Structure 1
Amino acid sequence: MKTPLSWIKEYVDVPAEVTTDELTHRLTLTGLKLEGIESPGAQITGPLVIGRVLTKEPEPQKNGKTINWCTVDVGDANGTGEPQGIVCGAHNFEPGDLVVTVLPGGVLPGGFAISARKTYGHVSAGMICSSRELGLGEDHDGIIVLPADAGEPGEDVRAVLGLDEEIIEFEINPDRAYALSLRGVAREVAVSVDGATGFRDPALRDTPAANDEGHPVVVEDAEGCPVFVARVVSGFDPAAPTPDHIVQRLTAAGMRSVSLAVDITNYVMLETGRPIHGYDADKVQGALVVRRAREGERLTTLDGTDRALSTEDLVIADDSGLIGLGGVMGGETTEMSESTTRILVESAHWDAVSMFRTGKRHKISSEAGKRNERGVDPTICAAAADRVVELLVELGGGVAEPGVTEVGTAPAQPVIRVAGDKAAKVSGLEISEERAVEALRSVGCTVTGTGTLEVVPPPWRPDLTDPQDTTEEVIRLVGYDTIPSVLPKAPGGRGLTRAQQLRRRIGRTVAGEGYVEVICFPFVGEADLDALGLPADDRRRRLLGLSNPLSAEAPSMTTTLLPGLLKAAARNVGHGTTSVALFEAATVTQPHDGGPAPILPVDRRPTAEEMAALDAALPAQPLHLGLVATGDAEAAGWWGAGRPVAWSDAVHAAQTVADALGLTLTVQAADVAPWHPGRCAALLLDGEVVGHAGELHPRVCTAYGLPARSVAAELDLDALIAAAVHLRPAPAFSSYPLAKEDVALVVDAGVAAADVEAALRDGAGDLLESIRLFDVYTGDQVEAGHKSLAYALRFRAPDRTLSEGEASAARDAAVARAAELTGAVQR
């Protein structure tokens, strides 16, 4: 909303010492956000003065155009006092008229520099200006002729034209439609700016009473159109020009001048906020009827568009058919034109919801629709119509016909009951009940009672509907800037929860292994799961669809972190990063048959049973950890050869996470997509599978654009955190020597090394400090179908030095247990 400062000051007295910056700062604090301050003359520099035309000599040209060679008195502005010779192509002026003259050295909007130049056989030293050339309007066929009392030749003309006017542009929130008018902005100034007084409501006027002589109006849908006022002006001069000050104000407000009749309706809309529509009364046939459109009806609107109407659209009809889309745009058949001498003025209040839906349905955006769809004061229809009639008579020479039609009454305002101290409790400020009442009354509310206040909002504030609205109104007028910034005090003895602490521990552990954390979108499509090679019956293919997905290619919540991680890794590889290691800790979504989620009440706290039903309907969302790596696990350099990542790196990373939580994962061979069937490990905790790790299947690498032999892992962190050792005791260290024993065991090729290790650990007893697999051998020295596993066993006692016999006995017991459980034979 653009508002000239001088126009605001017509309706409210602002102290002279209050600057524009101070005024806009205060309005911003109370809700009218400043977008900018501009001046129409900001782009005009140099001498722009009043000139008096002394002579005007028409000179026909060979091209059929006639120019005027003029001499113009510009006083001493040209430094000589001599008349200025200027060529002008306009003809709407005569000798003796005062005109706007820009002299050489001046610059007009758009960077148009003025200089003395030879044209049409004369040296033209300046320009006589039109509104368009000064950026004041669209009229460029005629120059500006100033009033006879505008001033003396040579005087600066900026003040006369309003070029030094300050125009304030506000951002108006959708619920503050009253501020889309000078009436609303001036009222905000009166209640927000210190020292502003004397608010004068432009909609407060005596209006003639309704009678039976007015144009007949029938309202069939009173809910859609509660109030309809009609007035008629006859004898209007369609050729009457719009006064310059109205054109200037319309232009400053961002609207163009069309004709006097249209300009007046727009001017009154900006004044009062009430949209007005004018019909050519001689084209209207019979009574105006307000109703909903019927099936199949069409209307050609003022913009020339033939529109198919919905049965929800409010329309205006006469005996000839539809003539307007109520509150949005008029029809072409009754449009005012250059021959209109009798004008039917419509001032009606329309249902805001209907206006919004109609505007969206037909993709119509207009200044009138913008106000009607946000809610306009329904009580000023008669006043706005009377103001339009007044201006049509005053400026267009018309006569107001005695008939006045007024159908319906404005809807009653709600009564809001609110505690007098509610604003103080909500804001933390010392706002007394008296101050709250004062603030509410200052914006037009009627307030009665004490303790519990009964507040009736003014009709121009449809946004005030409940106690929270009135409380916000009080606080904004007291000043949001006065609310102290107080940080809440954290309760003593509280900090991160156990789960939060463990999640951070996991993140630090994985980062310490060389992985970089990423955050991926949690959305997938069937194509992502196909790229993973998941079989049709895989539970990860059961997805939860989104009703409004960001992308049709990923319309569902993901059940695994791998698609996002693999895409992120491929993106990095595509940008030239040859070695990539990424991880993500995030939730996945696992739908179940919990039924639809219940709609909980909002007028009370839900019961425990209702919350339980809601929880039961929600899908499971466990926390997972995903890892992916490709390229080199160890870079090559002067220190030696490098090493590419292998399936064992993914397993090791998962085991490191478990170790950080005080847990031990058991590893078993597995065949699960998207991993390579011969290089995939299932990770078990207490016999339950909590994840998988290994080398990705070659087809998966190809599908996602990753190098061959890339590795990945995915773990159920919720399961790990639930079993984790939160506070791990410090390890006990023995100062006694270590006893080293190595064993090589031959087992069937299908026996897992982890099973052999578990058997050795079980048989070795408490003296075993560590066990490590350091070699796997298959070859001529081992029977076909078998493999040799070499383990390094380390024994130590906490209280003594082990004898050779004790270490050997522990080793033999470990081998015997492995033989018993896995069929191992010592080499």
Structure 2
Amino acid sequence: MRMPLRWLAEYADVAPGTTGADVAAALVSVGIEEEDLHGGDITGPLVVGRVLDFVEEPQKNGKTIRWCTVDVGENGQMLTEGKHQEIVCGALNFEVGDLVVVVLPGATLPGGFHISARKTYGHVSNGMICAEDEIGLGSDHEGIIVLSRLLGEEAAAGLKPGDDAIALLGLGEETIEANVTPDRGYCFSVRGLAREYWHAQGSPAGGYRDPALVETPAANDSGYPVRVDDAAPIDGMTGCDRYVARVIRGIDPTRPSPAWMQQRLTAMGMRPISLAVDVTNYVMLAVGQPLHAFDLDKLSGSVVVRRARAGESLTTLDDVSRKLSPEDLLVTDGGERVLAIAGVMGGASSEVDDSTTDILIESAHFDPTSVARTSRRHKLVTEASKRYERGVDPRLAPAAAQLAVDLLVEHGGGTVDEGVTDVDHTTEPSAYLLDVTEPGRIVGLDYPRERVVQILRDLGCTVDETGEGTDDTHVLVTPPSWRPDLVDGPDYAEEVARIDGYNNIPSITPTPVGGQGLTHGQKTRRVVANALAGAGLTEVLTYPFVAESVADDLMLPADDDRRHAVRIANPLSEERPLLRTSVLASLVDALRRNVARGHKDVSVYELGLVFRPGGPLAKAPIPSVLSRPDDETLEQLYAAVPAQPRHAALLMTGQVEPAGWWGPGRAADWSDAVAAVETVATALAVQVVVAADSGHAPWHPGRCARITLTDGTLVGHAGELHPKVLAALDLPARTVAAEFDVDVLVAASAEPVQARPFSTFPPAMTDIALLVDSTVPAADVEAALRRGAGASLESVTLFDVYEGERIEAGHRSLAYRLTFRAPDRTLTTDEVNGFRDAAVAAAAEATGAVQR
């Protein structure tokens, strides 16, 4: 929202010498963010010029420039010894004879851009023909400014070459641009920003003049007929609760808007169009109430506000035919012909034009939710919709209509009908019993009762100190009609702190209390992440949203619990509407993307939540916000939330050991995935058991390991992915993966670990080779060896697996190295041999192993 300083000074006292930067700083002090400063930074000569001639010259780069001769009056003659200016221009939207804005050598444009004669496209250009954005008049750079289009033919007819364009366009006046937040819709007007500036100055008595305080005639039966028929209110709110209509007849359609109004509209970033349109725009910018002007001769005799019917459409003022939704609120002619999309844009069929003499002024209050939804539905954001969806003062409609009527009569002639229409279904704001100590309690600063009451009254609130429930610390506060955001104590506390001054709130560094540090779960998750990173994997983060086809791509059985996924009501992408039930389901996308971008050796992992409803979820109730939900409601809410265990997953493809001068590399295989999980378990001092698993998707049935705790609790799976899964997911062959439940490891590592005493005595090592059936898992053999070897066993390492010559078919040889060490002595050979034999015997009994 923009605000010229001169316009501000009409509504609020501005001290002499106040700059735009001063005003912007004052607004910032009361919470209104400065967006930009416009104007005041241009130094001349910036003049009106007339295009006398031009030659179009195509360039090698495909662009066409115009080599122009421009009459710039006395300014040009002084600089070029009586010759007209010769200027290069890249725009093509003007003709010979047009009046344009010309900046001459020696001038400075916004941003410190100095203008001088310079050679370009083979010519010396003595200045520049300006576009809107180049002089800070707007953001348009599609073409240069043609003054007859910007100001109107009649206004431009009074101009001559050499006239000062800075004064003409108001560029010498500073204009503040503020960023208005959604909760301060009243600041989308000079009226609202001026009020905030007045607050920033301490709210001095008489320092603010409300432009909406005008006398308005009472509604009567002779006004233009209007009926509000909202048969389908949104969220229980009627789409239109106030509609004011006024009629002006006999306006001279040839009269232009006054120059001062055009100048202000231009400074606000709007184009002057015609008197009727300019007046409605001017009043909207001044007080914040959007208006619409209908050509009365194009109406049948009444206005009906209703919702759209099936199949209706409207060609709006931007010449776009729009298919209407039943939720769209419309302004119609007698209930039949659509005149406008309420609060958004009018229709082309009833717009005022060059022959309009009789006008119907609409000043209405439309529901913010209805307007916002319609604006987004049609992708049509207008100055009116921006104000309505933030909330317009419902009491403002009669005053805004009167301001428009007065301006139209003053500058367009004509007479005003005595009939006044005011369909008013608005309700009064509710009073709130405010504890005047609450602002101080919330902010942490002592605000005296008198100060709190004074600030509230300056804000426009009605403060009752004698009503029901009031006492020394409580008052009844009714917010002003333009502040629908003031509802409860915290709202008023924020306003008190804001108006009193945020700078009055001291900055005190809080003293932190002694904390408990990280929880066991947090520490465990960090260990897991560090262990995987230390194993050479790179952590990635993926979105937990997956496609419906992912379960089939992973070859999950029909009865697999991982097929029960939660569907998102409003997904970011319709292609990924489900929440993942495994981390691998989303991690594969990261691997595929990396491989597609040329990375052949990739090892990635992710820690994240998965969503496991285990079946259809109960429907969640919507509890009231007035109080804490009861136990039954909480149970229903929890029943509607899926279980969300934390998993970790990893994927490896390509080489885990690169090739080089030292020798060949080694490709990742299933054992690397298993080893990564074992590395995590070792880092957490959790003992896990690895066993073959021949039927768990999406892994290869012959290269998949099931990893459990010693008590049989499932931790996860690791191994090589199934070839069909790799083909479906477009992943490289022999890609390996693992996924495990971090929450299981967190629980298993909760008990403190007793450190084993370190022995300084030498170890005794012995090797054994055992012949076992090929179906016997090596993990079972190792477990049996550990059981039989006794307490002196320090480690068991499988260092060779052999199948082939001299080995019976269906069998394989497993070679283990057993390391023994005693804490208090050096073991003898006989002791070591005894431990070894006991271990072999245990393996033979448990697995049928035979020592080779």
Q: Answer yes or no: same fold by TM over 0.5.
A: yes
Out of 325-334 and 622-631, give the one that drifted further. 325-334
Structure 2, unpaired ranges of 5+:
54-69, 87-93, 118-125, 138-143, 232-237, 466-471
Is 1:701 aligned with 2:726? yes
Is residue 662–residue 728 contact of structure 1 (8 Å, CA) maintained in 2? Answer: yes
TM-score, normalised with respect to structure 2: 0.83
| Distance apart, 1:679 and its partner CA | 1.9
**1:174 maps to what in 2?**
182
| Distance apart, 1:364 and its partner CA | 4.1
In structure 1, which of residues 173, 181, 201 is the aligned counterpart of residue 210 of structure 2? 201
Is residue 47–residue 77 contact of structure 1 (8 Å, CA) maintained in 2? Answer: no
TM-score, normalised with respect to structure 1: 0.85
**2:653 maps to what in 1?**
630
In structure 2, which of residues 420, 424, 436 is the aligned counterpart of residue 420 of structure 1? 436
| Distance apart, 1:524 and its partner CA | 2.1
Letter of the structure 1 residue corresponding to residue 614 of structure 2: H
Change (3 A) 1:6 1:571: same
Letter of the structure 2 residue corresponding to residue 465 of structure 1: V
**1:229 maps to what in 2?**
244
Change (3 A) 1:538 1:229: closer
Q: For the residues of structure 1 that align with 2:168 and 2:360, how far apart are their CA atoms? A: 34
Is residue 5–residue 165 contact of structure 1 (8 Å, CA) maintained in 2? Answer: yes
Per-residue CA shift, 1:180-229, capped at 9, x if unaligned?
11111111111124587621111112233444544444455695443333
Change (3 A) 1:487 1:673: farther
SS in 1 for 2:11: coil
| Distance apart, 1:810 and its partner CA | 1.6
Change (3 A) 1:77 1:617: same
Change (3 A) 1:817 1:488: farther
Out of 558-567 and 250-259, give the one that drifted further. 558-567
| Distance apart, 1:147 and its partner CA | 10
What is the RMSD of the two structures over their aligned residues, measured on CA atoms?
Answer: 4.1
Is residue 463–residue 478 contact of structure 2 (8 Å, CA) maintained in 1? Answer: yes
Q: For the residues of structure 2 that align with 1:528 and 1:128, how far apart are their CA atoms? A: 57
SS in 1 for 2:399: helix
| Distance apart, 1:630 and its partner CA | 2.4
Per-residue CA shift, 1:140-159, capped at 9, x if unaligned?
756746799xxxx9996734
| Distance apart, 1:542 and its partner CA | 2.4
| Distance apart, 1:665 and its partner CA | 1.4
**1:665 maps to what in 2?**
688
Is 1:689 aligned with 2:704? no
Alignment map for 1:219-368 (pairs within 5 Å): 219=228, 223-292=238-307, 301-304=316-319, 309=324, 312=327, 313-318=329-334, 322-368=338-384
Change (3 A) 1:722 1:295: closer
In structure 2, which of residues 446, 467, 470 is the aligned counterpart of residue 430 of structure 1? 446
In structure 2, which of residues 160, 171, 174 is the aligned counterpart of residue 163 of structure 1? 171
Change (3 A) 1:496 1:780: same
Structure 1, unpaired ranges of 5+:
60-68, 94-98, 116-123
Q: For the residues of structure 1 that align with 2:348 and 2:586, how far apart are their CA atoms? A: 56
Is residue 423–residue 475 contact of structure 1 (8 Å, CA) maintained in 2? Answer: yes
Is residue 86–residue 128 contact of structure 1 (8 Å, CA) maintained in 2? Answer: no
Change (3 A) 1:143 1:570: same
Equivalent residue pairs, number: 794
Per-residue CA shift, 1:305-357, capped at 9, x if unaligned?
55555555242434985544444444445433323333333333333333334
Is 1:25 aligned with 2:34? no
Letter of the structure 2 residue corresponding to residue 38 of structure 1: H
Is 1:506 aligned with 2:506? no
Out of 482-491 and 454-463, give the one that drifted further. 482-491
Letter of the structure 2 residue corresponding to residue 390 of structure 1: D
| Distance apart, 1:585 and its partner CA | 1.6
Letter of the structure 2 residue corresponding to residue 679 of structure 1: R
| Distance apart, 1:596 and its partner CA | 2.4
Out of 628-637 and 797-806, give the one that drifted further. 628-637
In structure 1, which of residues 565, 569, 586 is the aligned counterpart of residue 608 of structure 2? 586
Letter of the structure 2 residue corresponding to residue 676 of structure 1: H
Is residue 463–residue 476 contact of structure 2 (8 Å, CA) maintained in 1? Answer: yes
**1:759 maps to what in 2?**
784
Q: For the residues of structure 2 that align with 1:220 and 1:554, how far apart are their CA atoms? A: 42
Is residue 48–residue 106 contact of structure 1 (8 Å, CA) maintained in 2? Answer: no
**1:63 maps to what in 2?**
none
Is residue 244–residue 363 contact of structure 2 (8 Å, CA) maintained in 1? Answer: yes
| Distance apart, 1:164 and its partner CA | 0.3
Is residue 332–residue 339 contact of structure 2 (8 Å, CA) maintained in 1? Answer: yes
**2:67 maps to what in 1?**
none
Is residue 100–residue 146 contact of structure 1 (8 Å, CA) maintained in 2? Answer: no
Q: For the residues of structure 1 that align with 2:73 and 2:548, how far apart are their CA atoms? A: 80
Q: For the residues of structure 2 that align with 1:229 and 1:586, how far apart are their CA atoms? A: 57
SS in 2 for 1:431: coil
In structure 2, which of residues 535, 542, 548 is the aligned counterpart of residue 520 of structure 1? 542
Alignment map for 1:812-823 (pairs within 5 Å): 812-823=837-848
Change (3 A) 1:18 1:631: same
Per-residue CA shift, 1:365-392, capped at 9, x if unaligned?
3323332333222223222222222222
Q: For the residues of structure 1 that align with 2:296 and 2:786, how far apart are their CA atoms? A: 103
| Distance apart, 1:656 and its partner CA | 1.7
Query: Which is greater in Rg?
Result: 1
| Distance apart, 1:499 and its partner CA | 1.0
Letter of the structure 2 residue corresponding to residue 684 of structure 1: T
Q: For the residues of structure 1 that align with 2:340 and 2:780, how far apart are their CA atoms? A: 85
Letter of the structure 2 residue corresponding to residue 255 of structure 1: M
Change (3 A) 1:319 1:286: farther
Alignment map for 1:649-798 (pairs within 5 Å): 649-671=672-694, 672-685=696-709, 686-724=711-749, 727-798=752-823
SS in 2 for 1:627: strand
| Distance apart, 1:19 and its partner CA | 2.9
Q: For the residues of structure 1 that align with 2:840 and 2:322, how far apart are their CA atoms? A: 90
Letter of the structure 2 residue corresponding to residue 474 of structure 1: V
Q: For the residues of structure 2 that align with 1:373 and 1:160, how far apart are their CA atoms? A: 35
| Distance apart, 1:15 and its partner CA | 1.9
**1:620 maps to what in 2?**
643
| Distance apart, 1:797 and its partner CA | 1.6
SS in 2 for 1:653: helix
Q: For the residues of structure 2 that align with 1:774 and 1:701, how far apart are their CA atoms? A: 31
| Distance apart, 1:549 and its partner CA | 2.2
Per-residue CA shift, 1:503-530, capped at 9, x if unaligned?
1112222222222211122222243333
Alignment map for 1:534-545 (pairs within 5 Å): 534-545=556-567
Change (3 A) 1:661 1:321: closer
Change (3 A) 1:616 1:302: closer
Is residue 72–residue 86 contact of structure 1 (8 Å, CA) maintained in 2? Answer: no
Per-residue CA shift, 1:427-467, capped at 9, x if unaligned?
22333333322222222111223422321111122222333
In structure 1, which of residues 543, 551, 569 is the aligned counterpart of residue 591 of structure 2? 569
**2:13 maps to what in 1?**
13
Per-residue CA shift, 1:114-140, capped at 9, x if unaligned?
99xxxxxxxx99999999848796247
Is 1:459 aligned with 2:468? no
Is residue 745–residue 788 contact of structure 1 (8 Å, CA) maintained in 2? Answer: yes
Change (3 A) 1:429 1:543: same
Change (3 A) 1:743 1:486: farther
| Distance apart, 1:474 and its partner CA | 2.1
SS in 1 for 2:150: coil
Out of 733-742 and 345-354, give the one that drifted further. 345-354
Letter of the structure 1 residue corresponding to residue 211 of structure 2: P
SS in 1 for 2:476: strand
**2:57 maps to what in 1?**
none
